[in-house]
C-alpha cells in the first residue's frame, strides 16, 4: 500500500482521505486556462478520472490530427501522439495542482 505524507507528516493512504486544497484564481481574459493566484484557499474533495487510456492512436486518430492541424494550433488538438498527449496532460496537472509552500 502506498502512503503520502502531508501536513505534519501523518501517513495518508493515496486516494483515501487525502487532504486537498485549492487556491482561488482570477483569469484576466476568457481564453486564459489558469488564472492568477489570489492567496485565498479552500479545502476540497477531488474526483479524478482518466478515460483516454482506452483509445488507440491508430490511423484514424492520425488522420484526424492531420486534418485538424490545418484549422487549429496542432498543440491544442485532442487527437495527438500519446507521448505529446501525456506530456501536455502532465504539464497541465503540474500547473494546476501545486505543492504547498
What is the per-residue pLDDT across 10-51, written as a single tens digit (0 to 9) for each? Answer: 565 655 666 778 888 888 887 777 788 888 888 887 766 666
Query: 5 pLDDT exceeds 70?
Result: no
Predicted pLDDT at 92: 82
What is the per-residue pLDDT across 44-54, written as a single tens digit (0 to 9) for each? Answer: 877 666 666 67
Distance CA 30, CA 14 (A): 34
Beta-carbon count within 10 A of 42 CB: 9
> What is the pTM assigned to this prediction?
0.48
The residues near 92 (Cβ < 8 Å, ≥ 6 apart) are: 33
**What percentage of residues in the chain have a pLDDT greater than 70?**
68
Q: Which long-range contacts (CB under 8 A, 24 or more apart) does 81-85 make?
A: 81/57, 82/57, 85/52
Amino acid at each position: 500500500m502506498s502512503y503520502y505524507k502531508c501536513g505534519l507528516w501523518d501517513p495518508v493512504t493515496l486516494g483515501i482521505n487525502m487532504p486537498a486544497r485549492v487556491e482561488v484564481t482570477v483569469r484576466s481574459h476568457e481564453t486564459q486556462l489558469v488564472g492568477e493566484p489570489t492567496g485565498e484557499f479552500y479545502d476540497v474533495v477531488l474526483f479524478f478520472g482518466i478515460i483516454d487510456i482506452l483509445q488507440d492512436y491508430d490511423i484514424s486518430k492520425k488522420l484526424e490530427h492531420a486534418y485538424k492541424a490545418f484549422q487549429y494550433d496542432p498543440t491544442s488538438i485532442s487527437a495527438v501522439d500519446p507521448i505529446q498527449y501525456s506530456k501536455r496532460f502532465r504539464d497541465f496537472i503540474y500547473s494546476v495542482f501545486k505543492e504547498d509552500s
